[in-house]
Amino acid sequence: HSGERPYACDAPGCEFRAARAGCLKKHTGIMHSGERVFACDVPGCEYSATRSRFDNLKEHTRTHRDERPHACDKAGCDYRSKTTSNLTVHKRTHSGVLFPCDEPDCAYVAVTTRELKTHTRTHGDEQPRMCDEAGCEYLTTNSSDRRTHKRTHSGAPVFPCDEDGCAYLAFTATGLKVHKRTHNG
């Protein structure tokens, strides 16, 4: 028992070391297999996390409660969020780090590169997807927008953006409030 741990995990960012190869194999299977072993216990929620991302599940469960432990540190701002990622996005509204669309005559501004990428597809040649609800003529090039739209048929609450030319729909008033910041800067 020399205390040596010659077997090192080769997963990016992982510093685990083991004394025996079997222990490393067990670690890799538990922590890096990608198997989703922690599921949200809220009925109807399909969120799950891997063992190595258990903290993500703990943070996710806040989305079902009104617990907002992450506060903006900007003087005079009372924004609080349930997740660190939402706080990071919020802080961009203070810093001016936003992502405007490059298309001529398009005033869209995103708060994340992912939102900009999604928006950019609306200008492309992608084949539009049609709503499969009888009598509905809604078309979009974005599968996420289509899923959002389909909720309008299910009776789920939808909060539309009232900005001219904007078709954004939010499922929560908070989501709409965050979105409106892309128009107001």
Whether the per-residue pLDDT at 113 is higher than 90: the answer is no
CA distance 129 to 145: 10
Average pLDDT, the chain: 79
Q: What is the mean pLDDT of residues 24-35?
A: 72
Burial class (CB in 10 A: 0-12, 13-18, 19+), 166: middle
Which pLDDT belongs to residue 114? 81
Q: Which residue has the higher pLDDT, 57 or 116?
A: 116
Contact 110, 116 (CB under 8 A): yes
CA distance 130 to 123: 17
Least confident of 53-67, 105-119, 123-137: 53-67
CA distance 134 to 181: 35
Whether the per-residue pLDDT at 72 is higher than 60: the answer is yes
